[in-house]
Structure 1
Amino acid sequence: MQPETLADLTRPPVATDLFREAMSRLGAPVTLVTTDGPAGRQGLTVSAITSVSDAPPTVLVCLNRSNRSHETFLQNGVVGISILGAPHNALAGIFASSRRSADEKFATGRWRTGQTGAPLLDDAVVTLDCTISDIHSSGSHDVLFCIVEAIGLHDAPEAGLAWFGRNFHHLPLSGSATQ
């Protein structure tokens, strides 16, 4: 069998709804991604985040270019990442809503300002305070490569929060059952 070539890209694409269903079965962390600066304050719920490197500490975040907060992130150049735990289901839903304003979103939860100026959720399991170092476009999204400037670890997280099968799931720390 020959490896794929550019000519193989002429095949009909995979159906969008099939791809979305497949990706709904890929478990992912639930995070709030936030920014503040000259372009204003914005935030949204994101599950497309992963570590890239530990030297320098780098993560990537994928943002849809059609999202109303996209340009704000690029103009501010800073990203706050708050990795959510079990108690944050409702907050994740609020930040996932495109019908809520930034003021409405940030009116919930307790926030602090990171050294970059990005908002960070006070009781998140982990916070990453980042600056954007590079941006790559792919399809409908921009992939933001973010250098981690500071990390905050919650002393006693109850359980993690994951997105799987289009629902939130709690990830217990010590083998207890999930909800």
Structure 2
Amino acid sequence: MRLPSDYGKEIVMTTPNETDFRKAMSHFATGVAVVTAKGSEGEQGATISALTSVSLDPLLLLICLNRASATYRAIAEAGVFGLSILGNDHKDVAMLFASRTADKFGSDVIERAADGTAFVRDSLVKMHCELVETFQGGTHALFMARPVSLELDENRAPLLYFQGQLGITL
């Protein structure tokens, strides 16, 4: 077996600061989703990349949102939310829901389930979720939720986020 020339080389690690940590985490390619909920401040929505499956038994997922956001407050109040996993043709939608634009729901990019929950039209996955538990993590909240219904479209590629860029093809 032939070993690489740098085999056994000592790794030199440093204590991360906010800038280094942000840059390091930007190297983790992730999908992009939109979450929506209706609270006392009205209908709210946000673009997220912090989404992961947690368990298959029971079915659980986890999303993270800034606690200062109106979407965080709406989900915390409502106890339910819509989750839309975006396709690679949804870059403009991701930017819309990442903005502070007041009317994110007036456009034709939104469609509604029978119960009124908002989802992004033509998203790869539409999932209605019920809040199970909330955890605090610094500036953010971690919402653990149970999917109660879903719809899949397996015919398109996902929208990816990598090194601060949307729509990257790896």
Q: Same fold (TM over 0.5)?
A: yes
Taking a change above 3 Å as real, the CA distance of residues 134 and 114 of structure 1, as seen in their structure-2 partners, is farther
Which residue of 2 is the match for residue 173 of structure 1? none
Distance in 1 separating the partners of 2:118 and 2:25? 29
Larger radius of gyration: 2
The 8 Å contact of residues 39 and 73 in structure 2, kept in 1 or not, is answered as: no
Per the alignment, in what secondary structure is the counterpart of residue 75 of structure 1?
Answer: helix
> What code does the residue aligned with 1:110 have?
I
Distance in 2 separating the partners of 1:148 and 1:28? 20
Which residue of 2 is the match for residue 111 of structure 1? 111
Residues 14-41 of structure 1, C-alpha deviations (whole Å, 9 max, x = no match): 3111111111111111000111255521
Give 1:169 deviation, angstroms: 2.5
User: What is the RMSD of the two structures over their aligned residues, measured on CA atoms?
Assistant: 2.0
> What code does the residue aligned with 2:111 have?
W
Which residue of 2 is the match for residue 47 of structure 1? 49
- Structure 1 unaligned residues grouped into runs of 5+: 1-12, 171-177
Taking a change above 3 Å as real, the CA distance of residues 66 and 39 of structure 1, as seen in their structure-2 partners, is closer
Which residue of 2 is the match for residue 20 of structure 1? 22
Which residue of 1 is the match for residue 124 of structure 2? 125
Matches within 5 A, 1:82-121: 82-98=84-100, 100-101=101-102, 104-108=103-107, 109-113=109-113, 115=115, 117-121=116-120
The 8 Å contact of residues 133 and 147 in structure 1, kept in 2 or not, is answered as: yes
Per the alignment, in what secondary structure is the counterpart of residue 14 of structure 1?
Answer: coil
- Structure 2 unaligned residues grouped into runs of 5+: 1-14
Taking a change above 3 Å as real, the CA distance of residues 146 and 77 of structure 1, as seen in their structure-2 partners, is same
Of 106-115 and 58-67, deviating more is 106-115
The 8 Å contact of residues 80 and 114 in structure 1, kept in 2 or not, is answered as: no
Taking a change above 3 Å as real, the CA distance of residues 155 and 112 of structure 1, as seen in their structure-2 partners, is farther
Of 89-98 and 34-43, deviating more is 34-43
> What code does the residue aligned with 2:51 have?
I
Which residue of 2 is the match for residue 147 of structure 1? 146
Per the alignment, in what secondary structure is the counterpart of residue 89 of structure 2?
Answer: helix
Distance in 2 separating the partners of 1:110 and 1:34? 10
Which residue of 1 is the match for residue 135 of structure 2? 136
The 8 Å contact of residues 36 and 71 in structure 2, kept in 1 or not, is answered as: no
The 8 Å contact of residues 37 and 71 in structure 2, kept in 1 or not, is answered as: no
The 8 Å contact of residues 114 and 129 in structure 1, kept in 2 or not, is answered as: no
How many equivalent residue pairs? 156
Per the alignment, in what secondary structure is the counterpart of residue 20 of structure 1?
Answer: helix
TM-score normalized by structure 1?
Answer: 0.80
